[in-house]
Amino acid sequence: MEFTDRSKVRRLPLRGSNEWADICAILDAAFLAHVGFVVDGQPFVIPTLYGRREATLYLHGSAASRMLRQLEQGIAACVTVTLVDGLVLARSAFHHSMNYRSVVAFGTARKIQEESAKEEALRVVSEQVLAGRWNDVRLPTAKELKATSVLSFEMEEASAKVRTGPPKDDAEDYALPIWAGVLPLSLQRGSVIPDPLLTAAVPPPDYVK
């Protein structure tokens, strides 16, 4: 993977990294991406689930999806992933921020045509979202695979950016009687809600619990 000015972190560069291990750690901790692309001069940014294998991100959706139909033509795209770890509450309005981990990746996508390769890519996405689920479910039929577009987005270059720690106020503001600090945030599982049509004898699997 190359690194050029396109993926250079310009704002607060000390928070940035082009280390592949840093990029992978963030991508593997998430499952929701936002895909940016331009069609006839109009920018679009679409949220979508993804799965990662090496330097490839797998994207999927309806065969009628505008995003996928555009990306499969090989147009330039930008994929971003962000994990919010906390709200950073400063003494001044200006210095409020958030703690986060993010990746910005540039590249192009291609459509996966071969049926077994499509199914494998879908397995990668499923395992990224909820490991263990793919082995329990009915696998896609040939008709369902035909109705689904699966793309492999090849990351040509990427960068990570991370903010951690407390707020950074102006020196004269530290004496103000205003609470400051970090309100941690995280994505957590709640209690499972069974499908009302579920057979009572079927318990939730361990990876759901």
Rounded to 10 degrees, the C-alpha dihedral 191/195/201/205 comes to: -50
CB proximity list for 70: less than 8 A, separation 6 or greater = 37, 39
pLDDT tens digits for range 96-113: 999 999 999 999 999 999
Domain spans in the chain, listed from the N-terminal domain onward:
5-167
Can you give the pLDDT at residue 10?
Answer: 66
- The token pair at 90 is 């400063």
Report yes or no: 84 and 150 within 8 Å, Cβ to Cβ.
Answer: no
* Cβ atoms within 10 Å, residue 206: 7
- The token pair at 131 is 């490991």
Q: For the whole prediction, is pTM greater than 0.75?
A: yes
CATH (one of 3.30.70.870, 3.30.499.10, 2.30.110.10, 2.20.25.240) for 5-167? 2.30.110.10
Report yes or no: 166 and 183 within 8 Å, Cβ to Cβ.
Answer: no
Query: Is the per-residue pLDDT at 200 higher than 90?
Result: no
pLDDT tens digits for range 143-161: 999 999 999 999 999 999 9
Amino acid identity, residue 68? L
Report yes or no: 99 and 86 within 8 Å, Cβ to Cβ.
Answer: yes
Question: Once rounded to an integer, what is the mean pLDDT over residues 180-186?
Answer: 97
